[in-house]
A and B are shown apart, each in its own frame.
Chain A
Amino acid sequence: MKKELLVATALVSTLGIAGVANAASMSMSGAHKVGVSGKDLDSSTTNSRASDQQSTFSISVSETTDAGMKISTGFDLAEESHTYDPSGLTLTFTDGSKLDLVEAGTATASHVAAVPGAGGEQGVSATTTNNAPTALTMAAASNAVGFEYHTAADAFGVEGLKASVSFASNDVALVTVAAQTASIESTYSVGVTYVTTAGDSTVTVAGGFVNASNNSSATTKENEAIQFGLVAVTGDLTVGVGIASGDYITTPTAGGDAVQVDGEFTSAGVSYVSGDMTFAVGMTSSEGKDEAYGTASSSSADTSDSQSASIAYAVASGVTATIGYTDVDDSDEGAASPNTSGSSWYVGATVSF
């Protein structure tokens, strides 16, 4: 009995003091992009050049409990979109799994293959009624009231496997007017990544599915999409391809009535690293058949095809200089879109801190 007292006082109680949780940590980081871009549209619009500056500032706060669970949260201030962007709450468990609470709900977006593509901020974007999808994550929309669970690496006993599942819920008043924008209600999503080796190559296969209902009685399509991608890395060479297909609701950037879209998106690219230089080429091809809510359209689909290339030079830790070029060919309802077609270039630098 005395020995127990000794151990309690001399060892265990002292260990209790040693086991007090670490102090909270607070970190800040961010990135600033500065450069010049130019575009030469297919329309008769005069070629133009513009400065391109974007900044993002991030704060992260975390604490690790005695049980080993890490609790973290934070926010971004993104100048480029003039937004304050909170991160919700993330719990990281001792086995490496994570649970995102709030600001969560699109698990598929965590499992998108990073298909190589040109870097830089070049583009011929303009307001348009072209509703062809622009990314593999089409339809990945959710209300912020949700959760997202990410397994640890090697999930379910399978080496190289990770999976995520999410659900977000909302209950918005029913909209019965066809021309209004519908709001996303409940979203569920799953995503999976599998990494393996094949000879000298490391192959990543990633994909996911999202389904999101909306509050409109007029729409005949919900947000529902599946995406899938494969990237192989062999030494300094990276090759990848990604495809996505699905339905979603959106509002044209040119304004006007919201539409429902049946879209497909394909991307492919190659990058090669030589010393401090990274060479990349990529292409995207997308097609979206847009129509008024609940109305089957007989017109041709909107399309957008692009080819791009870039050279990135690692100047110093956190600093990259980039030269990029992109050529875009758009069509809207089957008609050429010279205002959103043409070529663009970018010369600039990115600084991460």
Chain B
Amino acid sequence: MRKKIYLYLSCLIPLLALYSCNGGDKKDTSELWEKSMSSGDIIERSGTLMQDSSPEDRKRALDDAQNRLRTGGGLFGKKGGVDLLNLGQEKQTATIGIGMPINPYLWKGSLETISFMPLVSADPFAGIIITDWYNDADTPTERCKINVFIKGLEMKTQNLKVNSFCQTKVNGSWIDQPVNKVNNAKLENAILNKAKKIKISQS
């Protein structure tokens, strides 16, 4: 039988390679992975906290995972477990992403990253956040505002664009400064890092 299994696998691998060559643009495969029936994927998406480092542990974790997936979660919610550090507090729910045509993690990451600035408008359907002028107490003669554009559903750099505008006060008048692309990139990186952390914390 062992030779047969090796034979099956040796046939399967070239087929996979051929199939993968047929691929074009990268697609969102999250829906596909939601239906994966490998033990590791079932355990991962169920939210069970049980360890799976040995075959015996894995059987126990798989039983618990299947129970959670069959019944829609555990006694205390969809994801596994009770947050011991936030007992008694209002439970946070993942409300972002419902009906939004833009990446919800980039959106929330943007809002949290620039939360220290006053907002003029925030349109989640267009993916646009526009701040008001922000004036730091230590530099009263300088002010900045930021426009954030989120352009798609995927969490990638190309879907995020930040433009910052700064002015300096000269003789009582605010004078525009040249656009600083380095600072725009720093802002984009800060938002992307925040978005990644939000995504990981909710996975």
Partners in one complex: yes
Residues from chain B with Cβ under 8 Å of A28 in the complex: 49, 81-82, 84
Q: Does A140 contact B (CB under 8 A)?
A: yes
Among B78, B112, B190, the one with the most A-chain Cβ atoms within 10 Å of its Cβ is B190
Closest 3 CB pairs between A and B? A27-B81, A29-B81, A110-B40
- B200 x A94 contact (CB < 8 A): yes
- A64 x B201 contact (CB < 8 A): yes
Partner of B23, one of A159, A162, A264: A159
Given A159-B32, A207-B9, are A75 and B51 also a contact pair (CB < 8 Å)?
yes
Residues from chain A with Cβ under 8 Å of B93 in the complex: none
Residues from chain B with Cβ under 8 Å of A290 in the complex: none
- A193 x B32 contact (CB < 8 A): no
* Contact string against B for A residues 247-267, beta-carbon threshold 8 Å, 1 for contact and 0 otherwise: 000000000000000001000
Q: Does B1 contact A (CB under 8 A)?
A: yes
Given A59-B49, A314-B71, are A159 and B20 also a contact pair (CB < 8 Å)?
yes
- Chain A, range 75-113, C-beta contacts under 8 Å to B: 75-76, 78, 80-81, 85-88, 92, 94, 100, 103-104, 106, 109-113
In the complex, how many residues of chain B place their beta carbon closer than 8 angstroms to a beta carbon of chain A?
Answer: 89
- B55 x A140 contact (CB < 8 A): yes
Of A6-14, A35-43, A172-180, A327-335, the stretch lying at the interface with chain B is A6-14
Category for how many chain A residues contact B:
35 or more
- A318 x B2 contact (CB < 8 A): no
- Ordered by A's residue number, 7 sampled pairs between the chains whose C-beta atoms are within 8 Å are A6-B136, A6-B139, A11-B144, A26-B83, A318-B74, A352-B67, A352-B68
Residues from chain B with Cβ under 8 Å of A264 in the complex: 1-2
What is the CA–CA distance of A25 and B197 in the complex, to the nearest angstrom?
Answer: 13
- B71 x A320 contact (CB < 8 A): yes
Given A29-B48, A111-B40, A207-B9, are A350 and B81 also a contact pair (CB < 8 Å)?
no
Q: Does B166 contact A (CB under 8 A)?
A: yes
Residues from chain B with Cβ under 8 Å of A342 in the complex: none
Residues from chain A with Cβ under 8 Å of B138 in the complex: 9
Residues from chain B with Cβ under 8 Å of A246 in the complex: 2
* Contact string against A for B residues 50-73, beta-carbon threshold 8 Å, 1 for contact and 0 otherwise: 111111111110111011101111
Partner of B39, one of A29, A114, A119: A114
- A22 x B16 contact (CB < 8 A): no
Residues from chain A with Cβ under 8 Å of B81 in the complex: 27-29, 58, 60
Closest beta carbon of chain B to A291's beta carbon, Å = 17
Residues from chain B with Cβ under 8 Å of A64 in the complex: 197, 200-201
What is the CA–CA distance of A227 and B1 in the complex, to the nearest angstrom?
Answer: 11
- B80 x A29 contact (CB < 8 A): yes
List 12 extra interface pairs beyond A3-B142, A6-B144, A103-B51, CB under 8 A: A6-B168, A15-B190, A19-B193, A60-B49, A74-B49, A88-B53, A109-B39, A193-B36, A193-B40, A196-B19, A226-B5, A317-B75
Closest beta carbon of chain A to B203's beta carbon, Å = 8
Q: Does A228 contact B (CB under 8 A)?
A: yes
Q: Does B38 contact A (CB under 8 A)?
A: yes
What is the CA–CA distance of A245 and B4 in the complex, to the nearest angstrom?
Answer: 10
